């Protein structure tokens, strides 16, 4: 069975005002002290990100979705515990609802990015969710990338959790996706056809001098440079801890479905990258509250029917992996509850301020699988 791991980026915000705070260094130091005091090596696995207002963690690879759920809840609560030592909380939000002037982290790589990309790097305070699924080889991995392309915007719509930008409603479910796509290497890509052609394309991109290293290959889905995995990077960080598990189950089934199609000799869909860019824009704009582009027709269709089409596309793999019932329930719950963007907007309607939205999202971030508080 293919293993799955999740990386999540969290916002660090002031416990009182909800404003982002440049405290990544202090939170990482608190995690180090806790690791020393409690003899817990995994607390050393938190990482800084581009901005000082962010914290990143990665789960260990697992094969069961209940294990993944436990990992995500634990890491979120550990993040909150360390942030609390410096008067902050963490929130799983794709962008800050409140105005912010982000602070680039220290280090040669981040400083280079700041010089190279100017405002694109300076303003890039966005939080995503990356899902890794193991593959047997680069050849299988690229075959998977070629065949999963049309379905990635559906995952973006399901995860959409960034409606606000600099104190204003952006009009998007995922404004993070629009900000993220300012990077010149981000977004959908063409069919590669083979691992050799994939690596040739990556090398050619690096040879231009525009990008510093392979870490800046920001495709919506890519071969990991560090692990034998396909890494799907299209999603916002999700508000409720159950949603990244739902996405991970769907993505693993999408990888398995694509790999089976490759082994059976099915060619990848020849959908142009320009159409996929439109589908990605539509997903970021609508989230689950408007039409999406159906991957099988490339025409507008209701969001629920597109999500259900994704389920049908991977249903056989889900059944073989034992995840079908979990995913059916997860999709029903998500469609009824709404994604993070809908929850954030409902919080603003009921609570009346963006600061209250942040506070409500902080509580949801560290709730357990049953909604219990941390």
Q: Which two tokens stand for residue 171?
A: 């009009």
Per DSSP bridges, beta strands 4-14 and 54-58 are antiparallel
Q: Rounded to whole angstroms, how far apart are CA atoms 111 and 211?
A: 13
Question: What one-character DSSP code corresponds to residue 170?
Answer: -
Q: State in Å, rounded, how far the first CA of the chain is from the last one.
A: 32
pTM of the predicted protein model: 0.96
CATH of domain 93-365: 3.30.590.20
Per DSSP bridges, beta strands 88-91 and 164-165 are unpaired
pLDDT tens, residue order, the chain (374 aa): 999 999 999 999 999 999 999 999 999 999 888 887 876 665 557 888 889 999 999 999 999 999 999 999 999 999 999 999 999 999 999 999 999 999 999 999 999 999 999 999 999 999 999 999 999 999 999 999 999 999 999 999 999 999 999 999 999 999 999 999 999 999 999 999 999 999 999 999 999 999 999 999 999 999 999 999 999 999 999 999 999 999 999 999 999 999 999 999 999 999 999 999 999 999 999 999 999 999 999 999 999 999 999 999 999 999 999 999 999 999 999 999 999 999 999 999 999 999 999 999 999 999 964 455 54
DSSP 77-123: HHHHHHHHTTTEEEE--SS-SS-----BPSSHHHHHHHHHHTHHHHT
The residues spanned by each domain of the chain are 93-365
Q: Rounded to whole angstroms, how far apart are CA atoms 330 and 327?
A: 5
Q: Which two tokens stand for residue 322?
A: 């034992």
The CA angle 131-218-166, to the nearest 5 degrees, is 90
Question: What one-character DSSP code corresponds to residue 62?
Answer: B
What would the pLDDT profile of 156-172 be if each residue is shown by its tens digit? 999 999 999 999 999 99
Q: Rounded to whole angstroms, how far apart are CA atoms 85 and 80?
A: 9
Q: Compute how many other C-beta atoms are within 10 angstroms of the C-beta atom of residue 247.
A: 25
State the maximum Cα–Cα separation within the chain, in Å, rounded to a whole number. Answer: 57
What would the pLDDT profile of 59-87 be if each residue is shown by its tens digit? 999 999 999 999 999 999 999 999 999 99
């Amino acid at each position: 069975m293919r293993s799955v791991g999740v990386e999540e980026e969290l916002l660090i915000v002031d416990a009182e005002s909800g404003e982002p705070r440049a405290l990544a260094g202090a939170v990482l130091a608190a995690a180090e002290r806790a690791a020393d005091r409690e003899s817990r090596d995994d607390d050393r696995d938190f990482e800084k990100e581009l901005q000082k207002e962010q914290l990143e963690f990665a789960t260990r690879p697992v094969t069961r979705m209940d294990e993944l759920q436990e990992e995500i809840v634990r890491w979120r609560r550990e993040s909150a515990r360390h942030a609390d030592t410096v008067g902050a909380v963490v929130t799983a939000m794709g962008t800050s609802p409140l105005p912010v002037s982000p602070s680039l982290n220290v280090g040669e790589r981040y400083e280079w990015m700041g010089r190279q990309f100017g405002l694109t790097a300076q303003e890039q305070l966005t939080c995503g969710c990356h899902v890794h699924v193991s593959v047997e080889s680069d050849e299988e991995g690229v075959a998977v990338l070629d065949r999963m392309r049309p379905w990635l915007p559906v995952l973006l719509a399901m995860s959409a959790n960034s409606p606000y930008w600099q104190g204003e409603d952006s009009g998007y479910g995922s404004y993070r996706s629009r900000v993220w796509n300012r990077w010149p290497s981000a977004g959908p890509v063409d069919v590669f056809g083979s691992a050799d052609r994939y690596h040739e394309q990556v090398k050619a991109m690096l040879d231009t001098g525009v990008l510093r290293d392979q870490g800046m290959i920001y495709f919506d889905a890519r071969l990991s440079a560090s692990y034998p995995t396909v890494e799907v990077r299209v999603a916002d960080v999700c508000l409720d801890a159950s949603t990244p598990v739902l996405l991970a189950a769907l993505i693993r089934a999408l990888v398995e479905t694509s790999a089976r199609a490759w082994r059976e000799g099915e060619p990848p869909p020849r959908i142009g990258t320009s159409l996929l860019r439109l589908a990605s824009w539509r997903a970021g704009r609508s989230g689950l509250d408007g039409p999406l582009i159906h991957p099988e027709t490339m025409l507008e269709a209701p969001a629920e029917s597109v999500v259900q089409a994704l389920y049908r596309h991977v249903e056989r793999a889900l059944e073989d992996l034992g995840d079908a019932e979990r995913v059916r329930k997860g999709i029903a719950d998500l469609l009824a509850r709404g994604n993070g963007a809908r929850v954030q907007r409902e919080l603003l309607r009921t609570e009346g301020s963006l600061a209250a939205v942040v506070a409500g999202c902080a509580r949801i971030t560290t709730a357990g699988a049953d909604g219990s508080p941390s």
